[in-house]
Amino acid sequence: MRTAAMDGEGLGSEEGLRSVVRSVWGYDTLRPMQGEAIRASLERRDSLVVMPTGGGKSLCYQVPPLITGKLTVVVSPLIALMQDQVAGLRLSGYSAAALHSHVSPEEARRVRESARDGSLRLLLIAPERLLLDGTVSWMRSLGDRLGSIAVDEAHCISQWGHDFRPEYRRLAELRAHLPGMALHAYTATATPRVREDIVHQLRLEDPLVLVGRFDRPNLTYRVLPRTRVVEQCERALSRHKGEAAIVYCISRRETESLADALRARGIDARAYHAGMDAAARTRVSADFKAERLDVVCATVAFGMGIDRGDVRCVVHAGMPKSVEHYQQETGRAGRDGLPSECILLYSPADSERWRTLMERSASEGGGGDTAALNAQLELLRHMRMVAGSGRCRHAALSEYFGQAYEPPAPTPAPEATGGCGACDVCLNELDEVPGSAVVAQKIISCVYRVGQGFGAAHVADVLRGKATARIIEKGHDRVSTFGLLRSMHRDSIVACVHQLVDAGALAIAPGEFPVVTLTGASKAFLSGERAARLLELPRERGGASADGTSGPGKRGRRAESGVDALDARQRELFESLRALRREIAERLGVPPFVVFADTTLIELAVSRPTTPEAMLEVKGVGRKKLEQFGEAFAGRIAQWAGADG
Ligand code: ADP
Ligand code: ZN
């Protein structure tokens, strides 16, 4: 393919860059950090680029080869993602290939040939493959046809990260084998320790370090006390009918029981976990990718290879074990930048469960590695703090990643309440429990009265004055706190217990049946020296209401953009274009999102271009894609406009 360099433009001139990005990807502009990262690569300066999921890291290493006319080798850990990326680039007329264990020797030979004859621009390669004997010396033999090496998901090299992969460690050898070669590392993990470790392990020399903003303004975060997990998931999913959603569960068994329960309620959900046989797993992820399936109940095993950009809802049915995991998993929502919702159904018991699992696996591993165990427990503690706080979720997450949070400029909206405008706290969805300091005291003394030997639900029943068989058997109908909170709902009391645990006023003892106990601080709350501010369970928000509109607060006040902003006719056209995209993708054997992103379909549905020139104006429509798909989409739009009258 022709490159800007061949076109005689200055290497990486502003105009040269822009025209490449416009004609291949159909984007008008580079995001600020992308420009800097690309320039570092063109200047052959080592770099470490830290950008959140969806920030646009891939463009940073995809653009330079088109400018220099040289090959970039990208180390990438996930075969599924490599395949999608290659398919998407090829649709844009970009010469890309992958080398991994599923590539036949014949195909591998062709790929190597295209690198040698200078026609290949991007080669994705798995780390274990890269370090096979021969690969590096083959790379060396390419001489200056090889321009640079990019390491994607670079945090995998660090044991301080959340996804350490031993095969990444050997990437340190690259520097020795290919002296003088520019190395560029990319990651979404921002903790300073991991960052330093990447620089050190990869032997980056005077790297340009670029750290993007971690906030994801298009995501609305909500943390709900987990009470009835199936109903809560159902309610969340019903706000996203016909849209992609992932429900993350802690255990394999939960993915299956939750998917079954949701199916029984008419939601077509499937389970996905690493214990399923490979064929069943492939089927689920292929169906999800091809948009034949919208809801997946999964363990963390799902998602690493999923690149569907239009996930509109991520529910955590249990708390993840680190903020990094939470950020990465919620990061799978709204990668296309459109408004999306993230719900964490939280119980402090999750934290105890993780602790037990971590301690068990540490002791099974010989029990020697206390440093690693402590590192894990520390990550867990931070997650719990973020989940249990009554602070703005965007602020809490940004600050965890070391960035002060700046809310976006306020938009005039009736429900605007200041703050981020996109989390349950700032949207004022949480009310304070009336007389919460006194409620806290009643709960704490009840925990004491029942002898610190029971779970939150039992404590709640005692406070509500329920004479259950178990309460009578234990004589808890005769304790002084029996019936002190008769007017409160059981779920609300349980939620208050959880918040008191977060505030340090109570604790949950680990074990199979979590037991609520007092802490050193309980007394201060009882005496009124410290006061708890307890938040009410969020008012039950329904799903779609009878008139088909969604309930309030669906996605916070950012809902002006995205599918929600379409009127009924535009929405109809959007759905029709989506169906067309699915047909085309199926015919080509690629996932729909590599044909066009949702953002592109939305723009098409709004501006309804019917000529090729007008279509090129739409973000995400590059020349090659216009050539291949322009007619079909313009035809569909024209047909629809005709029917419109
Ligand atoms: P990451 O790898 O950082 O998670 P991606 O490279 O997958 O992010 O990009 C996320 C999304 O942003 C993709 O849908 C991509 O098409 C889009 N994108 C990237 N750069 C731009 C840009 N300059 N203009 C518009 N969209 C962009
Ligand atoms: Zn907020």
pTM value?
Answer: 0.74
The owner of tokens 């058997």 is: 473
pLDDT confidence of residue 618: 93
Distance of alpha carbon 129 from the chain centroid: 28
For the chain, give the percent of residues with pLDDT over 90: 56
Instruction: Answer whether residue 537 shows pLDDT above 80.
Output: no
Q: What's the CA gap between 552 and 547, in Å, rounded?
A: 13
> DSSP 3-state assignment of 81?
helix
Within this chain, do residues 187 and 95 fall inside the same structural domain, yes or no?
A: yes
Instruction: Answer whether residue 432 shows pLDDT above 80.
Output: yes
The owner of tokens 């200056």 is: 144
- Which of 352, 372, 400 is the last residue before a domain boundary? 400
Task: Band the pLDDT of 553: cuts 50, 70, 90.
Answer: very low
More confident site: 88 or 367: 88
pLDDT confidence of residue 11: 57
Q: What's the CA gap between 403 and 179, in Å, rounded?
A: 35
pLDDT confidence of residue 299: 92
In a 10 Å sphere around its CB, with 0-12 CB exposed, 13-18 middle and 19+ buried, how is residue 32 labelled? Answer: exposed
Q: Quick one: which atom of ligand 1 is closest to the CA of 331?
A: 4
Within this chain, do residues 122 and 195 fall inside the same structural domain, yes or no?
A: yes
Task: Band the pLDDT of 13: cuts 50, 70, 90.
Answer: confident
pLDDT confidence of residue 540: 43
pLDDT tens per residue, range 288-308? 989 999 999 999 888 766 778
- Residue whose Cα lies nearest atom 20 of ligand 1: it is 56
The owner of tokens 């025209």 is: 19
Give the count of beta carbons closer than 10 Å to the beta carbon of residue 496: 29
Task: Band the pLDDT of 511: cuts 50, 70, 90.
Answer: low
- Which of 510, 527, 544 is the last residue before a domain boundary? 527
> Does residue 561 form part of some domain?
no
Q: Would you say the CB of residue 27 lies under 6 angstroms from ligand 1? A: yes
Q: Quick one: which atom of ligand 1 is closest to the CA of 53?
A: 4
Instruction: Answer whether residue 560 shows pLDDT above 60.
Output: no
Within this chain, do residues 56 and 157 fall inside the same structural domain, yes or no?
A: yes
Q: Would you say the CB of residue 54 lies under 6 angstroms from ligand 1? A: yes
531-555 average pLDDT score: 50
Instruction: Answer whether residue 344 shows pLDDT above 80.
Output: yes
> Does residue 46 form part of some domain?
yes
> Does residue 541 form part of some domain?
no
49, 57, 58, 213, best to mutate for ligand 1 pocket (most atoms within 8 Å of CB): 58
Q: Where are the alpha helices (DSSP H) in 503-597?
A: 522-526, 568-588, 592-595
Instruction: Answer whether residue 539 shows pLDDT above 70.
Output: no
- Which of 150, 179, 211 is the last residue before a domain boundary? 211
Within this chain, do residues 234 and 290 fall inside the same structural domain, yes or no?
A: yes
Q: Quick one: which atom of ligand 1 is closest to the CA of 57?
A: 3
Residue pair 154/371 in contact (Cβ under 8 Å)? The answer is no
Q: What's the CA gap between 11 and 17, in Å, rounded?
A: 9
Which residues are registered as beta bridge partners of 316?
A: 248, 344
Residue pair 383/319 in contact (Cβ under 8 Å)? The answer is yes
Q: What share of the chain is helix, strand, coil (3-state, %, to 5)?
A: 45, 10, 40
Within this chain, do residues 257 and 371 fall inside the same structural domain, yes or no?
A: yes
Tokens encoding 193: 């320790």
Task: Band the pLDDT of 562: cuts 50, 70, 90.
Answer: confident
What CATH number should be reported for the domain holding residue 593?
1.10.150.80
pLDDT tens per residue, range 618-637? 999 999 999 999 999 999 99
Which residues neighbour ligand 2 (ion) by CB within 5 Å?
Answer: 392, 394, 419-420, 423, 426
In a 10 Å sphere around its CB, with 0-12 CB exposed, 13-18 middle and 19+ buried, how is residue 263 labelled? Answer: middle
Q: How far is the CA of 316 from the centre of ligand 1 (A)?
A: 25
In a 10 Å sphere around its CB, with 0-12 CB exposed, 13-18 middle and 19+ buried, how is residue 65 labelled? Answer: buried
486-514 average pLDDT score: 82
Q: 248 phi and psi, to 5 degrees?
A: -90, 130
> Does residue 489 form part of some domain?
yes
406-410, long-range: CB within 8 Å, 24+ apart, which pairs? 408/217
What CATH number should be reported for the domain holding residue 248?
3.40.50.300
Nearest to 71 by CA among 140, 14, 132: 140
Residue pair 346/321 in contact (Cβ under 8 Å)? The answer is no
- Its domain, for residue 323, covers 219-400
Within this chain, do residues 197 and 242 fall inside the same structural domain, yes or no?
A: no
Task: Band the pLDDT of 425: cuts 50, 70, 90.
Answer: confident
What CATH number should be reported for the domain holding residue 473?
1.10.10.10
- Residue whose Cα lies nearest atom 6 of ligand 1: it is 56
The owner of tokens 């299956």 is: 256
- Residue whose Cα lies nearest atom 22 of ligand 1: it is 30
Number of domains in the chain: 4
Q: What's the CA gap between 223 and 26, in Å, rounded?
A: 37
Residue pair 77/152 in contact (Cβ under 8 Å)? The answer is yes
> Does residue 423 form part of some domain?
no
Instruction: Answer whether residue 184 shows pLDDT above 90.
Output: yes
Q: Would you say the CB of residue 597 lies under 6 angstroms from ligand 1? A: yes
pLDDT confidence of residue 283: 93
Residue pair 485/517 in contact (Cβ under 8 Å)? The answer is no
Q: Which of 75-79, 224-228, 235-239, 588-592 has the highest mean pLDDT?
A: 235-239
Q: 50 phi and psi, to 5 degrees?
A: -110, 115
pLDDT tens per residue, range 121-174? 999 999 988 888 789 999 999 999 999 999 999 998 987 766 778 888 889 888
pLDDT confidence of residue 104: 93
Distance of alpha carbon 91 from the chain centroid: 26
> Does residue 178 form part of some domain?
yes
Give the count of beta carbons closer than 10 Å to the beta carbon of residue 44: 15
More confident site: 37 or 390: 37
Distance of alpha carbon 100 from the chain centroid: 25
Q: Which of 111-120, 226-235, 396-405, 603-612 has the highest mean pLDDT?
A: 111-120
